[in-house]
Structure formats: C-alpha cells, structure tokens
Amino acid sequence: MERFEKAERLRRLPPYLFKEIDRKKAEVRARGVDIIDLGVGDPDLPTPGHIVEAMKKAVEDPSNHRYPSYSGMEGFREAVADWYQERFNVTAEPLKEVLSLIGSKEGIAHFPLAFVNPGDTVLVPSPAYPVYNIGTLFAGGRSFFMPLLAENGFLPDLEAIPHDVASSARAIFINYPNNPTAATAEPEFFERVVAFAKKHGIIVCHDAAYSEMTFDGFRPSSFLEVKGAMEVGVEFHSLSKTYNMTGWRIGFAVGNASAIEGLGAVKSNIDSGVFQAVQMAGIEALRGDQGCVAEMCAIYQRRRDVMTEGLISAGFKLEKPKATFYLWVKVPAGYTSAGITARLLEEAGLVVTPGNGFGEPGEGYFRMALTQKEDRLKEAIKRLKALSL
Ligand SMILES: *Cc1c(COP(=O)(O)O)cnc(C)c1O
C-alpha cells in the first residue's frame, strides 16, 4: 500500500458536490465580479455583546485555563436544563440527561460510534445536513436514505420504510426546523416518530439547531415534549445559530440517560470537553436576556420577506418558510440544480447551493442562505430579474 493511501472510511465518503462551485466561484471572483454569497449557513451577525463580555471575564480567570470536565461544567448543564424547562416545559436531569458538545456537529458525528456497529443500518433523511450520513459511515454503519419530498411536507414517510430495514435499524436522524428545506414539523409528527422508534427498538436523534430561528411568532416544539420521547431519544442543540456563535464551538445534547452516557463515553476518549470560558459564555447566553434572539429573528424575518417576494416576482417558486435562514427554491423549468447554480454564479455573481448537494432527492431545488444584509439581497434580486430564465 502507498504510504499515504487514505483509509476506507475516507475513501467511502460521498463525492463532494460543491467542489465544482468552489472552483467556479474562485474563477468568477478572479474576473473581478462582485459576488453575493448566499451559499453558506453561517450567520453574518455578531455574537451579542453581553455574551462576549462574559467570555472576556471568564478568560481572565485562571481556574478556567485547566482541562474542563468531560461531560461539561455543572453550571452549564444546569443552565441547559433550566432553559429546556423554561422554553419547552421539558424536565431534564442536568448531570445524567445533559451533555456539553464542541458544537452539535461534533456530537452528531460521534453519536454513531457509541451505538452503531459495522454493518448496522441508520435511517438518514435526504436531502440533509451531511453529518448524519458521514457519522454513520465513520462508525462502519450503512445509511438508509429517507427522501424528504414536497408532497409530504419534507417529512420522511415512515410507512414507506421496509419492515426489515426498520426492524434492523439502530437509529433515525430527523431535523426540524429543517436544513436545507426550511420545513417545520408539528408535534404530531414527533409522536409518530416515537411510536415508530418504540415499535422497532430504534434510537431517535433529533437535530434542533434551528428551533429558535423562527418567524411570525412560530414556536416549534422540542421532540422531547412528546410523551415517551425521553425513553427513546436525544435532541441535539447548538448555540451557533440561536446566539450567532458558530465560531465558538459549543452545543449540547439532552435526552435519554443511556444515550447521553454512551455519547459521553465516546467523547471522554477523544476530546477533553469545551473550554470553560466558552461554557461560561454559554451560561450567559442561555440565562441572559433573550431579547437578542428576538432581534435576530426580526432581522431574518425582514430578509426572508424581501427575498421571498423578490424571488417570486422574478418568476421563481418557493414556500415562505416559518423558520431557519434558508429558502428552498424550485429550479426553473429546463434547468437542473447544477445548471441553475452555475448560471446564477456566472451571469449574476450569485452563489447559491444546488439542492442535490444535500442528497439526490434535493435535485430540482437550490438553497439560498439569508446571510447577507438587506441591501445586498435587494441587489441580488435586481440581478435575478435582469436574467431571462
Ligand atoms: C448549523 C447546523 C448545526 C450546528 O452546528 P454546530 O456544530 O453546533 O455549529 C447543526 N445542524 C444543522 C442542521 C445545522 O445546519
């Protein structure tokens, strides 16, 4: 074998479908085009000041310079439990049912290492955040993809999963409010997932990263609000989107004590927890004034309105989302996801993400992230209208 030949687990990764866009983006930028990047889901807004101040203070304290505890500071886990009680009326035992994470991506990626044996099946939505599939693959598992289709409100059709697949699956990943489709789920869907998981002995992993990024007064439920959910699953959460803290790397998992214990056991052998100063900032975020969250939602809601109306008047078709900072837009007749993405970049300097990059059933859509200021979105609309599609 060649010295640096990659391990199977890297060679088995799905092809990186954004490579072509990355290359084109560099090429268009080199031509001097003013690019408007609506590609990545990274907030352009800063972390609220009171959270930054808490971090500054915590950084000065030498007791925070040492190794943190593996499963997270008690104070952070208590703040998470209190936040769950307040926000969802869900009671979680801070030391047994809460775990701090180095961002929720880290927890999601490591979760299968705790519960999936080589060859085991995991039910994974498609299109989706890529980490559910990749975490499964790294654990040697196999993903069974559940297509998220417009006719089902972008919810997986649990009835369509063959019985032998469901009964042998170890876990199911779900994510609402959803990236990339911006779809939301009602508690009734979570009830069906709990019943399905009970029937087949499956662990439910719900990624709730966007539960606070919502519009028009919509307040999504936690999966854990549903009766029996604590017996079958965990919910992954993040401070990244709620408090514009993507760079800080802090998230958490809440749920079944055995699930939390298993994930904690994997993590204690791989990482050494979250920098305590960051956890102190996290406590401030969760316990502090939540006005900053309302302000953030108001900004994204205005952007959503501007962009949705602009897209519709430029002839595109989409639903106005109730949550997330994404728009999931149908590609115009005669185009593929890759085709429209290339044309928007080359002729309008607009970066969007082709839907099929999130999984084959995403073909026929592109995703726009509302991570630019309103005047830039208006400029994007002007350019869209100037294209004759
Ligand atoms: C942004 C995002 C996350 C959050 O990731 P962090 O690691 O907490 O920054 C999780 N899930 C989805 C679907 C996301 O889009």
pTM: 0.97
Contact 243, 51 (CB under 8 A): yes
Residue 212 shares a structural domain with residue 110: yes
Domain membership of residue 321 (yes or no) is yes
Q: Give the residue, by CA position, lying nearest to ligand 1 atom 3.
A: 209
Q: Give the pLDDT confidence score for residue 72 in this predicted structure.
A: 87
Looking at residue 389, what is its pLDDT? 79
Whether residue 238 has its Cβ less than 6 Å from ligand 1 = yes
User: Which domain-ending residue is among 245, 270, 287?
Assistant: 287
Q: Is residue 237 part of a domain?
A: yes
Residue that has been written with the tokens 């920098």 in this structure: 275
Q: Which tokens in the block code for residue 257?
A: 């004590």
Cis previous bond, 62, omega within 30: no
> What are φ and ψ of residue 369, in 5° steps?
-100, 135
Domain that holds residue 197: 49-287
The CATH number of the domain holding residue 139 is 3.40.640.10
Domain shared by 72 and 120, yes or no = yes
What phi and psi values does residue 316 have, to the nearest 5 degrees?
-85, 160
Given the CA of residue 129, which atom of ligand 1 is nearest to it? Answer: 13
Residue 201 has pLDDT above 90, yes or no: yes
Same-domain check for residues 134 and 233? yes
Is the CB–ligand 1 distance for residue 180 below 6 Å?
Answer: no
180 and 69 housed in the same domain: yes
Among candidates 279, 191, 278, which has minimal Cα distance to 227? 191
Number of domains in the chain: 2
Same domain, 276 and 367: no
- Under the banding of pLDDT at 50, 70 and 90, the label for residue 215 is very high
Q: Which tokens hold the place of 327?
A: 């728009």
φ, ψ of residue 294 in degrees (nearest 5): -60, -40
276 CB within 6 A, ligand 1? no
Answer yes or no: are the C-beta atoms of 104 and 236 closer than 8 Å: yes
What pLDDT, on the 0 to 100 scale, is given for residue 278? 98
Looking up residue 341, the CATH number of its domain turns out to be 3.90.1150.10
- Residue 269 scores a pLDDT above 90: yes
> pLDDT > 70: what percent of the chain?
100
